[in-house]
Copies of this chain bind each other. A is one copy, B any other.
């Protein structure tokens, strides 16, 4: 339970699953779409999601190689929650940012 929340709760998982919302994507596409993620973290997070059965990894044996990622049925059941979380974060980011600054101004750092 904690493990599962730890995974799906990870910001990268949320963003990746959100990207695969309505279409399959290649590794490079995801890398470009998910701003700020390193190649390493993208690989690792995709592996976790694949391991948990939330997405499929399809290797096309061509040159150059091509790998497609797509949500599984299980992954799709997570979409609603994930999209909702993403939209919440997007909608309230300014409010939260303000709250943080106000809090920091009110609660001086202990020296």
Give A contacts to B, CB under 8 Å.
Answer: 1-2, 4-6, 8-11, 14-15, 36, 50-53, 74, 77-78, 80-82, 84-86, 88-90, 92-93, 95-96, 99-100, 103-104
Contacts and interface: CB of A to CB of B under 8 A. Distances in A.
Contact of A92 (B74, B80, B89): B74
B78 A88 contact: yes
14 contacts: A1-B93, A2-B11, A4-B92, A4-B96, A5-B85, A5-B86, A5-B89, A6-B11, A8-B88, A50-B103, A52-B96, A53-B95, A53-B99, A74-B99
Contact of A96 (B9, B14, B53, B92): B53
A51 B99 contact: yes
Ranked nearest first, the 8 interchain pairs of A and B with the lowest CB-CB distance are A53-B99, A5-B11, A81-B84, A9-B9, A51-B103, A4-B89, A81-B85, A6-B11
Contacts of A4: 89, 92-93, 96
Contacts of A77: 88, 92
A15 to B, nearest CB: 7
